[in-house]
Amino acid sequence: MNPISKLEDQFSSEFIDGPDKRKQALDEAVQTMKEFVRIDHSVAVLSDLADNKSYIFTGDFGSFFEMDTSGYLTIDSIWEEDIYQRIHPDDLFERNLLELEFFNFLKTVEPDERLHYATKCKIRTLNSKKEYQRILHRSFYLKNSSEGGLWLAVCVYNYLFEKKETVTGIDGKIINTKTGESVYVDTYVNCINLLTSREKEVLVLIGKGVISKEIADQLNISINTVNRHRQNILEKLNVSNSIEAVRTADALNLL
């Protein structure tokens, strides 16, 4: 249910500094996040896109996830799957669409301005009583590489300190934290060019239940080309199968 393969593909194409240059900046970021969760009392995930690692920092909110709040841990992934498993599947799907839109939005912004933007949404998540409770999720990029590529990403989880209200979906937005300007995300305009016209043709036929051989015949291309388009679609939309690809593309208004 995750649209994240496209993000992984795009992350790998970012300009990333060499290991020596990254180490000092990463050490500084780790110290910054330690202090951040101490003050914010949240759970924060610092993801290193260059090394495919994440550092999970646990403030008092860690009790919500039944996590040890004594320090931080390192995982060999930029995705915090243990937390994702607690999020309502529909909200996780929408949250990942928001992150995909955010990444593509930032590519339209000058590198110096990218770190001023963040996402904010409200997601239903299982608490320690195994009951869904709406919490606050934020994300932003802490550092660019020296070449201007997006490098250190941060996700923050915390209690939703707002009065109860009727919320449709996750109420996702992109916010300029410098000016306070909010962009409500509902059209995913920055994702409009994720798929080529041919990939869209292939995906429409997949959605109709057409098998690869018949797609090849209808589009007058080889079955190997069809399979290559299938793989590209899964990677770009960050999904694991064709059903999820059709659902994600439809949600992004790509078809």
Q: Domains in the chain, please, with CATH? A: 5-189 (3.30.450.20), 192-251 (1.10.10.10)
Range 150-156 average pLDDT: 92
* Structural contact between residues 153 and 44, judged by C-beta atoms closer than 8 angstroms: no
Specify the pLDDT at position 245.
86
Average the pLDDT over 27-50 and give the result.
93
CB contact at 8 A, 120 and 175: yes
- Name the region of 92 (left: φ>0; alpha: ψ -120 to 50; beta: rest): alpha
> What was the pLDDT predicted at 2?
44
The pLDDT assigned to 224 comes to 93
> Residue 229 pLDDT > 70, yes or no?
yes
Average pLDDT, integer, range 59-77: 88
Give me the pLDDT at residue 31, please.
94
pLDDT-based confidence at 14, cuts 50/70/90? low
CB 162 within 8 A of CB 88: no
Q: Which of 18-22, 163-167, 222-226 ranks highest by mean pLDDT? A: 222-226
Stretch (H or E) spanning 140: strand 132-144
Predicted TM-score (pTM) above 0.85? no
- Residue showing tokens 């608490």: 127
Mean pLDDT estimate for the chain? 85
Given pLDDT bands bounded at 50, 70 and 90, which one contains residue 120?
very high
Residue 214 has pLDDT above 70, yes or no: yes
Does 12 score more than 70 pLDDT? no
Write b or e for each residue in 192-221: b if 16 or more Cβ atoms lie within 10 A of its Cβ, otherwise e: eebbeeebbbbbebbbeebebeebbeeeeb
Q: Is residue 34 pLDDT above 90, yes or no?
A: yes
**What pLDDT shows up at residue 237?**
80
Q: Give the DSSP H or E segment for 55.
A: strand 53-58
Residue 16 has a pLDDT of 56
Least confidently predicted of 2-16, 156-170, 198-212 = 2-16
User: Given this model, what pLDDT does residue 1 score?
Assistant: 37
Nearest to 49 by CA among 85, 9, 84: 9
Q: What percentage of the chain reaches a pLDDT higher than 90?
A: 50
| CB contact at 8 A, 152 and 26 | yes
Say if residues 175 and 185 touch (Cβ distance below 8 Å). Answer: no
